[in-house]
């Protein structure tokens, strides 16, 4: 529930000037950049890693699913800006609820290697055609601390990231299509973790 002391009535002109859509919902949120969530002090158990994702709609959709699946941190190697209006809209606010770190693509391998040192499994999602040594995603033990790596819309996952991964998983499908949309693939992969946890005693 928003703090009523921080609510203000804005004129239609202010709303129209501040909103980026033709027909805004009538509510605007302004917040300082340092109000955004910071990563927890303890190492995360579930990280989503996106390699140069280009499309703001895909990024927003992915962030919304990530929040639903219990992802604790998102690492973005370059790609679309998570704070741009199209991403914020597609994420339905999830972009403001998740700790997101954007970094140079060249910094990502070092971050991933450090995460592996701490015991995290690095899992690359690869399209069926490239699925040499890949397992169907439901065979993976998602209960371990996991970083899931997804590639970009055109080129897929950078080869050096795919090689760094401990595991490669795929979503098998008809060869009539080469791949799934990255956000559609992510929905199956990310939600497999809570699905497996649901079946565990004590979960
Ligand atoms: C549109 S696909 C990229 C297609 C690209 N031509 C390639 O060869 O990887 C974007 C990303 O979504 C994920 N993806 C798409 N379809 C998948 C599938 N069937 N199984 C696992 N991951 C998939 C992969 O991470 C992929 O890099």
Within a domain: 61: yes
Q: With a 6 A CB cut-off, is 49 part of the ligand 1 pocket?
A: no
Q: Which helix (H) or strand (E) holds 69?
A: helix 56-69
Residues ≥6 apart with Cβ < 8 Å to 25: none
Q: Does residue 186 line the site of ligand 1, with CB under 6 A?
A: no
Q: pLDDT tier at 131 (50, 70, 90 boundaries)? A: low
Q: If residue 177 lies in a helix (H) or strand (E), which one and from where to where?
A: none
Average pLDDT estimate for 73-81: 97
Name every residue whose Cβ is closer than 8 Å to that of residue 160 and which is 6 or more positions away in sequence.
Answer: 109
Give domain status of residue 108, yes or no: yes
Contact assessment for residue 166 and residue 121, using Cβ atoms and an 8 Å cutoff: yes
Region for residue 26 given its phi and psi (left: phi exceeds 0; alpha: psi -120 to 50; beta: otherwise): left
pLDDT confidence of residue 197: 94
Question: Measured in angstroms, how far is the CA atom of residue 13 from the centroid of ligand 1?
Answer: 44
Task: Measure the CA–CA gap between 28 and 6, rounded to whole angstroms.
Answer: 12
Q: Is the pLDDT of residue 144 over 80?
A: yes
Residue 28 lies in a domain: no
Q: Mean pLDDT across the stretch 20-46?
A: 84
- Return the pLDDT at 31: 80
Residue 54 belongs to a domain: yes
For residue 106, the surrounding DSSP H or E stretch is none
Residue 10 confidence (pLDDT):
86
Q: Which domain holds residue 146?
A: 33-198
The 10s digit of each residue's pLDDT in 19-32 is 877 787 787 777 88
Residue 183 inside a domain? The answer is: yes
The pLDDT tens digits of the residues spanning 104-120 come to: 999 999 999 999 999 99
Residue 95 lies in a domain: yes
Residues ≥6 apart with Cβ < 8 Å to 72: 39, 40, 44, 45, 46, 47, 99
User: What share of the chain has pLDDT > 90, as a percent?
Assistant: 72
Number of domains composing the chain? 1
Asked, for residue 53, whether it belongs to a domain, the answer is yes
Q: Taking a C-beta distance cutoff of 8 angstroms, is the pair 138, 113 a contact?
A: no
Residue from 51, 125, 134, 155 to probe ligand 1 pocket by mutation (most atoms less than 8 Å from CB): 125
Residue 58 Cβ < 6 Å to ligand 1: no
Q: Is the CB of residue 195 below 6 angstroms from any atom belonging to ligand 1?
A: no
pLDDT reading at 135 higher than 60: yes
> Any idea which of 45-59, 60-74, 120-134 has the lowest mean pLDDT?
120-134
Answer yes or no: is the C-beta of 120 below 6 A from any ligand 1 atom. Answer: no
Residue of 28 and 84 predicted with greater confidence: 84
Tell me, what CATH number does 159's domain have?
A: 3.40.1280.10
Strand order in the sheet with 46-51: 100-103, 73-77, 46-51, 146-150, 121-125, 167-170, 135-136
Q: What is the pTM of this model?
A: 0.91
Ligand 1 center from residue 203 Cα (angstroms):
31
How far apart are alpha carbons 123 and 142 in whole angstroms? 10
Cβ of 160: how many Cβ atoms within 10 Å? 11
Residue 167 belongs to some domain of the structure: yes
Neighbours of 76 (CB within 10 A): 22
């Amino acid at each position: 529930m928003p703090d009523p002391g921080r609510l203000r009535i804005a004129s239609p002109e202010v709303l129209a000037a501040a909103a980026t859509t033709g027909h805004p919902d009538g509510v605007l949120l302004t917040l300082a950049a340092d109000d955004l969530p910071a990563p927890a002090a303890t190492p995360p158990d579930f990280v989503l890693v996106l390699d140069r994702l280009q499309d703001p709609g895909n990024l927003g959709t992915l962030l919304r699913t990530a929040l639903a699946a219990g992802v604790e941190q998102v690492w973005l190697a370059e790609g679309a800006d998570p704070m741009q209006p199209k991403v914020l809209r597609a994420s339905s606010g999830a972009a403001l609820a998740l700790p997101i770190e954007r970094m140079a693509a060249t910094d990502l391998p070092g971050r991933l290697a450090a995460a592996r040192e701490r015991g995290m499994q690095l899992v690359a999602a690869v399209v069926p055609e490239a699925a040499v040594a890949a397992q169907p995603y439901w065979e993976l033990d998602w209960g371990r601390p996991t970083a899931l790596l997804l590639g970009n819309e055109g080129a897929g996952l950078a080869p050096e990231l795919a090689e760094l991964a401990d595991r490669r998983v795929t979503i098998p499908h008809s060869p009539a299509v080469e791949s799934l949309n990255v956000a559609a693939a992510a929905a199956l992969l990310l939600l497999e973790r809570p699905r497996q946890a649901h079946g565990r005693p004590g979960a």
